């Protein structure tokens, strides 16, 4: 009789575990859903490929990040950074540029700067003038 309860318990645990895996994998694949950390900050489960054109309004983090102004999926400003924070390549650019990269979410870390709001957080893969 104890063996029968043990078998049922194993089956129930397996079903619960399977349901959790199915739900989590489906939830993770949806780009429209995001993890909300605090306030209006979001981190996408998968980065979104972007090609955005905008005007440089600031250079930050010793030249490895720029502030952009333009039209960015319902946002008027965005922050774009190289993955290597030691890069000073952005010091060479000014005016209008095209950024190709990955959109990782929304950050409010620079809300009290030139942005004045939470903005898209982009990792730069390529820049063109």
Q: Give buried/exposed letters for 96-129 (b at 16+ CB in 10 A, else e).
A: ebebebbbbbbbbebeeeebeebbbbbebeebee
- Summarize pLDDT for 82-105 with one digit per residue, the tens: 887 666 667 777 789 999 999 999
Selected residue with higher pLDDT from 4 and 114: 114
- Per-residue pLDDT at 25: 60
3-state class (DSSP) for residue 120 = strand
Cβ 47 vs Cβ 67: under 8 Å: no
* % of the chain with per-residue pLDDT over 90: 34
* Mean of per-residue pLDDT scores for the chain: 80
Q: Using a cut of 0.85, tell me whether the model's pTM lies above it.
A: no
- Per-residue pLDDT at 73: 87
Task: Give the pLDDT mean for 21-40.
Answer: 56
Give the CA distances from residue 18 to residues 11, 15, 21, 33, 117, in Å, rounded to whole numbers and listed in that order: 10, 5, 5, 22, 41
- Summarize pLDDT for 41-69 with one digit per residue, the tens: 889 999 999 999 999 998 887 778 889 99
């Amino acid at each position: 009789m104890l063996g029968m309860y043990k078998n049922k318990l194993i089956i129930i645990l397996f079903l619960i575990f399977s349901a959790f895996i199915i739900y989590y994998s489906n939830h993770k694949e949806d780009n429209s859903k995001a993890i909300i950390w605090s306030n209006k900050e979001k981190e996408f489960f998968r980065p979104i490929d972007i090609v955005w054109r905008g005007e440089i309004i600031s250079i930050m983090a010793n030249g490895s990040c720029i502030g952009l102004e333009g039209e960015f999926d319902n946002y008027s400003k965005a922050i774009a950074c190289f993955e290597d924070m030691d890069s000073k390549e952005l010091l060479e650019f000014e005016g209008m540029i095209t950024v190709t990269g990955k959109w990782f979410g929304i950050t409010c870390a620079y809300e009290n700067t030139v942005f004045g709001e939470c903005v898209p957080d982009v990792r730069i893969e390529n820049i063109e003038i």
